[in-house]
Structure 1
Amino acid sequence: MKLWILWVTSAVALTVGGLTAFRPAPTPPKNIIFILSDDHRYDFMGFTGKVAGLQTPNLDRLAREGAHLQNAFVSTALCSPSRASILTGQYAHTHKVVDNFAPLTKGLLFFPQYLQKAGYQTAFLGKWHMGNTDDQPQPGFNYWLSFQGQGVYYNPTFNINGKRVAHGDSSYTTTLLTDYALKWLDGLDKKKPFMLYLSHKAVHSEFQPARKDKGKYANMPINYPASMYLTATDSSKRWAGPTLGPDPIASPENGLGKVNMRDMPNWVKKQRYSWHGVDYMYHGQIGFNDFYHQYAETLLGIDESVGRVLKWLEDNHLSENTMVVYMGDNGFSFGERGLIDKRHMYEESMRVPLLVRCPTVVKPGTKVTSVIQNIDIAPTLMAYAGLPTPAQMQGASFLPILQGKAIPWKNRAFYEYYWETDFPQTPTMFGVRTDRYKYIFNYGVWEANELYDLESDPQEVNNLIRSPDHQQLAGQLRDQVFDWLEGTGGMQIPLHRIRQKRFDHINKGTY
């Protein structure tokens, strides 16, 4: 009797001509929620323990109840190229959105288009900031909400399905995007699968937290990186405030280890005094300590957004079969080698947070050490939806890895960045990162290339490019970089017409 009851509860009864038959209950829809933040550094999450005083309870929950992909990297650490790689599953030299102004290549296909065709209800909300499309609705989405360019933190104007809607009363963009996302979810047919792409502006500079979060981290201790002072001409320079404790001096005694200043590229040394350097941050508009604290406070809004989405899933009994993915579009420097921002290939720039929660797929507390890149997101989400990886995608699905299966998988991440007319301090670069070494080829500048042993030199300050013991390795990694470019159609630098005025960061004007 008990067995019969168990069997019946997992089936649907049908009565036809007086006869009763049974068929399996319909499979619950495999829903997808992809949450993307901007400039979120890989270690700025409470559970990592790397940032004293930082609290991110909802991101912590994702890691606790799902998987933390510890070695997640972008193939280009810049907003538009990285976002295009997430949507297309392709490297920047393939989709050709190589910077924040490059137009979308005709014929590009985004993974939501495949999901939409397969019957998914799809929505995009937030920052698009890609190519020449501004905030106009894009293919693959049943519902569209975006804004122009980088957007603003307060009182935004949204393009909602082609109609611009202005918001006032000090409304906060992170909160508004989440409000609209939940409203869209409320109106769905819950019997059909859905895909929500929630793309936040936060935590892009210049950072502005929600009003309720302003000042919450005013006294947070600051983790000054030891390499922050290596490139300073004035070694007595200090950033620490009177209540924040002493700042570290870069030296072997404090754990920095060996430093090869001779082969630290000059563009790195000089950029310290540029728009993206700690001694001239954004024209000197903000001090480093305030910069650090406001970033952490702005991140609170992102964490709250994640919590609200998780609560909606619980309230609607959709947690079990909904894959929630949280990711940053690129990392962010906080003083390493005197730099702020991203673009370069150092760890804090190319490495990103990546969390996945889906109880039917991922065991709680899963830690994934495999190398994952942004080009792998589209194939993975499509695989969860039961769709094959399209031939033009260069990434691969890591769904089996999330399921705990052993599969053949890459052990290195490739990287590319293309010189930008607005920020000429950072050169074009190509590189590869293995589980231990990183090789960077600085293209078109009279500089040393770079080779770092991440095991003995995690702060990437001891360039081994001239080390006699590492010449064979350097040559092998260089060949791998160019084999990758050649094998993926990347042996040319994609160019596009420069339509925007160039900004002079020294004289504060355009020309």
Structure 2
Amino acid sequence: MFYKVCFFCIAATAGIVVLSGFHQPQSRPAANSPKNVIFILADDHRYDAMGFTGKFSGLKTPNLDRMAATGAHVQNAFVSTALCSPSRASILSGQYAHTHQVVDNFAPLPPATKFFPSYLQKAGYKTAFLGKWHMGNADDAPQPGFDYWLSFKGQGVYYSPIFNINGKQVTHKDGYTTDLLTDYAIEWMGKQDKNKPFFLYLSHKAVHADFQPAKRHAGVYKDMPIQYPASMYLTKSDTSKIWGKNTKDPETGEVKSNLRDMPNWVKNQRYSWHGVDYLYHGSISFNDFYRQYCETLLGVDESVGRVMKYLEDNGLAENTLVIYMGDNGFSFGERGLIDKRHAYEESMRVPMLVSCPSVIKPQTKLTNVIQNIDVAPTILAYAGLSTPAQMQGKSFLPLLKGQKTEWKDRAFYEYYWEYDFPQTPTMFAVRTDRYKYIFNHGVWDANELYDLQADPDEINNLIRSPQHQTIAKELRDQVWGWLENTNGLQIPLKRIKQKRNDHIYKGNY
């Protein structure tokens, strides 16, 4: 077994590592070749932090860019809870958090819960999980549904990790976790029978705080210009003409911010652990935080490139469904916040790229609303399996194929108050292509309504706008209707015995 990184076509130019794109397979496989599936999950990767979006000036992600160009870019992908464990459980179960009950990073997984890899395994797939499990507890023990298991405790570390490999603790005295996980993944694929299907779940620790790039990427973006969001600098003077017949300034056409109706819990976080003025209790500056995130993301992009190149070099690319996504997004100063958890776009919206040349045309841009609960049904559908009755998501494979099918036009969201981060309340939300309604539960505070077309930055809260009362009521009713129809009206509280761990102070979760 090897553990050294074998990079391909690396060229250093002006201090930036650039990988050449993966190439097309030289020959098309037989029509009856196995339908393999690879699911690659990144941690805290926000939807627009990819080179081709242009959002982060100077950010290079050539392999993610290539994946979007040769396959599908799901432009409206959302998680139903923007937090590690609940989102991961939703991906695997096809259920909302109030159904699978993993409502935070410590809630135990109910014993009867069944994840989609078990269905693949029963159907004859060889299955493997490699990386961050982090669900319900900090254990790294092998889980049902996987023939091969490689994980680590809790959040893990970026350097010199200890892996649980099929029940055995294996220490790596050196090596970068992103690279090591990719090494193991490629090695495992190389041992599979090419006449039988496999499912590989590659779950990266990156790009979770505290951000630590690979040594080859450290300092690459030290001079990167930073795109500070406009809402990072809202002041008390931004309250004039906040709503009325016109939500835009009559002279400039700009949307006015509504600081008066910005929830107090948002205002109060600015100088806190999850705020830009005292982020992580002042342990790092915002500029370094921003740039190290981008540098750490480079390792994930290279990992994607290596996996795709392996498929192409071995004639597996054509019929292998590859899905890349983030478990949740991340704020970089919007409304003075960092982190995730909340229902704003940069938190609940995630990147999603899908490749499978046999069914997806190049440069497919999917604008339908897709959520993390839809991943499991989609993978099962590609494998020829039906969606289990308990799953609340739906396969979007027909959409990837360009077929017409009845589909939802809104995303629902839930987040439950956490003992360790009491500054963020329980909230429920619904997002349509035009509006977002957020109900902040259990606090004496403002609820929120945003017109995403006129106000994509979500700074002009229309909750008290006279002309928006009808839509606000309709969306509020939809939120409660969704919860009622999915048996989510009772908050699933969990009694968890916790030790006072470092994560409370260091932000590891």
TM-score by length of 1: 0.89
Is residue 68 from structure 1 mapped to residue 73 from structure 2 by the alignment? yes
- In the alignment, is residue 136 of structure 1 matched against residue 141 of structure 2? yes
User: Aligned residue for 1:493?
Assistant: 491
For 1:7-48, what per-residue CA distance to the aligned partner results, in whole angstroms no more than 9, with x for missing partners? xxx9xxxxxxxxxxxxxx771000000000000010000111
Taking the aligned partners of 2:193 and 2:505, their CA distance within structure 1 comes to 55
Residue 397 of structure 1: aligned partner: 395
**2: CA distance between counterparts of 1:94 and 1:448?**
27
The answer to whether residue 417 in structure 2 is matched with residue 412 in structure 1 is no
Using the TM superposition, give the Cα deviation of residue 501 of structure 1 relative to its aligned residue in structure 2, in angstroms: 3.5
Q: Distance in 2 between matches of 1:194 and 1:48?
A: 32
Task: Return 5+ residue gaps in structure 1 as ranges.
Answer: 1-9, 11-24, 234-250
- Identity among equivalent positions (%) equals 75
- In structure 2, the CA distance between the partners of 1:228 and 1:69, relative to structure 1 (3 Å rule), is same
**2-structure distance, mates of 1:252, 1:333:** 30
Contact 1:66 1:366 in 2 (8 A): yes
8 Å contact 1:33–1:195 — kept in the other structure? yes
The answer to whether 1:201 aligns with 2:205 is yes
Q: Give 2:57's aligned residue.
A: 52
Runs (4+) off by over 4 Å: 251-256, 502-509
TM-aligned CA distance change 1:280 to 1:412, over 3 Å: same
Classify the secondary structure of the residue corresponding to 1:211.
coil
Is contact 2:236–2:259 with CA below 8 Å preserved after alignment? no
Work out which of the residue numbers 267, 270, 273 in structure 2 matches 1:272: 270
- Aligned with 2:156 (options 151, 155, 158): 151
Query: How far, CA to CA, are the matches of 2:282 and 2:207 in structure 1?
Result: 20
* Higher Cα radius of gyration: 1
Q: Aligned-pair distance for 1:367?
A: 0.1
Find the partner of 1:110 among 105, 110, 115.
Answer: 115
Equivalent position of 2:193 in the other structure: 189
Alpha-carbon contact 1:231-1:338 (below 8 Å) kept: no
Aligned to 2:449: 451
- For 2:231 and 2:450, how far apart are their aligned partners in 1? 15
Which whole-Å CA distance do the structure 2 matches of 1:222 and 1:507 have between them?
Answer: 26
SS at structure 2 position matched to 1:271: coil
Structure 1 residues 316 and 254, CA gap change in structure 2 (3 angstroms): farther
Question: After superposition, where does 1:4-403 map in structure 2 within 5 Å?
Answer: 27-132=32-137, 134-169=139-174, 171-230=175-234, 257-403=255-401
Unaligned runs of 5+ in 2: 1-27, 238-248
TM-score by length of 2: 0.89
* 1:508–1:394 distance in 2 versus 1, CA, 3 Å: closer
From the superposition, tell whether residues 147 and 504 of structure 1 become closer, same or farther in structure 2 (CA, over 3 Å). closer
Q: Secondary structure at the match of 1:212?
A: coil
The Cα shift of 1:209 comes to 0.1
Aligned residues: 470
Distance 1:278 1:499 in 2: 31
Residue type at the aligned position of 1:410: K
Residues 1:473 and 2:471 aligned together: yes
The 1-side partners of 2:84 and 2:506 are apart by 23
223-232 or 420-429, larger mean C-alpha shift:
223-232
132-141 vs 419-428, which moves further = 132-141
Please list the CA deviations of residues 78-132 of structure 1 after superposition, one character each: whole Å capped at 9, or x if unmatched: 0000000000000000000000000001110100000000000100000000113
- The AA in structure 2 aligned to 1:124 is F
RMSD between aligned alpha carbons? 2.1
SS, match of residue 268 in structure 2? helix
CA contact (8 A) 1:231 1:269 kept: no
